[in-house]
Structure 1
Amino acid sequence: MAVFFLRYGVALSISGAVVVGCIIIDVPFYLLLLILTSYAAWVTTAYYRYRVAIKRLSEQPTLIDEDEKMMEERHFSDVEKYYFRLLLSLNESSQMLSAHITNTLVLLGRMGDRVDQANDLAKNTELLAVNAMVSAARCGEVGRGFVSVSKDLVGISERAENDLKRLDSLIQGLTNSLTTVDYLPSNAAISWVESEMSGADYCLTAARCDGLYASVSGCLSILDDLYERYESTSQLDVRWLQLGEAIRRVVAGLRDTLRSLLNIVENLTRDVQLLSLSEHLNRHQLVEIHEGFLQFVDQHDKMHEIIS
């Protein structure tokens, strides 16, 4: 009740003020009665809707509740419960990885454009530095200091161009690596059970997960080195401010994305390894888990319909 009045406090205060104002200015009795009736009807309706909403939220089932309830209804053994929970984790990690790969590929395309922009900036900086060096050299002894600074800027620009080529190569390689990840099933859990039942090889192997992990981890190691160098250099040398900041932002964006991707791949690899190390299930247990997952997926879809 207190939450209701906190939520609708402003509207209730305004409505109450209107009623008091009508009494003060001596509004005719029938109008005052009409206002009071409307006010009472509005409060009653709002409170009823509030109670209905609270009741729906309290009665809304969660996936965990449905998961445990379904396993109890089907009288799963401890081994079947263990496999079911492990396969749930596998399915979640697989779906998260698939979605994250899609988002990462989109980001890599954007970062490729930013690398091109930073490369143009590096070339322009180098061109300006060369022109400044030539102009300073013509000034003789007076321009000797400017020649030294211009040479440093040329060196900075060349190093930035080399790093940007390295970044571009990294983006292209990672894009190709993620594009070839076509072995993620739409439902990893059901796919694993069906593979076990038919005796076929499961598409999501530990070796594939390890290969993807190594690829992403290698790229992340390179990005960490670049980020630390550009972070420290940008703070120490003002000549890096614009060019160094442009490169640092590209590297920072890629690092954050790949770290999230690496965590998901690590979780998926762990689940796949646990499945491969666990004891084999007999056909009856596989059938029970398969039917349980089909029931779980159906309940999951119905819950999404209720929520939406």
Structure 2
Amino acid sequence: MHRVIGERPFDETPFSADAARSIYRDMVRARRFDERALALQRRGWMSGYPPFEGQEASQVAAAHAMADDDWLLPTYRSNAMQIARGVPMSDILLFRRGHPEFRSDHDAPTFPQAVPIATQIPHAAGVGMAANYRDADHGVLCYLGDGATSEGDFHEGLNFAGVFDAPTVFFCENNGWAISLPRERQTASDTIAQKAEAYGFDGVQVDGNDPLAVYETVAAGLERARDGEPVLVESLTYRQGAHTTSDDPSRYREDDPDLPEWRTRDPVERFEEYLREAGVVDDAFVETVREDADAELDRAVEEAEAAEDEDPADVFDHVYADLPAELRRQKESVVSAADPDASE
């Protein structure tokens, strides 16, 4: 286990200026999306939303570290990863408005968001095992939060991955809080990364607000995973806002957390300053990136608003080949409430 924290001079990194600008561009896109989505929810445009402000560097860099054919298993808070992987913003907005998750074509293999905590972890181990059975050479990246490590699915999924050498990286964003529960109330372990040792593979910590460090750590982890060595990455970041729009963090969290500045500082501002000092970006580039992100969001909102409403009765389909009697009654009730004149 090793720990990567802090920044290096840009010319001492293996990154090209174009690669760094691409990461920065997606971080800005993700931040603008988060701000717009939060504003839309507050005006009743959608029922709920899980903000990820402060976690853009961690998520975007991890997504950039993946190969095109690597599989991503996301959760409800990993929207920045999905955006960076090419999932249209309009699809994510529509999902929050009750529509099916994927309405548009996108190339990157991505599972649906897992909303129940940790249920995607055994799935990720299984996807990795399936790759082995098929002699495929792609990796799997499973996103989870620190709260997921307190669920049984975490232990079962990592145990299967270790026993069966699944080509899976478990990417844990430790943002300090599982709703209102701080990390020190989650586990007595000094780190989350060290939990990997119990399952026979390595864990590593990384400064989650340094996108270049995250990229290198996740890319190295995926390379090892493809060779049959799963990896647990603990990305140390901080949740700047609420757990969801129904949460009030002021009830349980102080304004000045007992965490180092490198972990709590705004990652978009930090990376922009770093790139400016290295001469990689300037005012014109930054302004263009922001304008492009806002224009993309305008189009995404327009597309979402133009989408036809879904039939509420569809929620009963595609679960059972033959709908049980109780669910048939429930479906009839939903149909009648939506259209009293409708008949089965």
| Structure 1 length-normalised TM | 0.23
Structure number having the greater strand percentage: 2
| Structure 2 length-normalised TM | 0.21
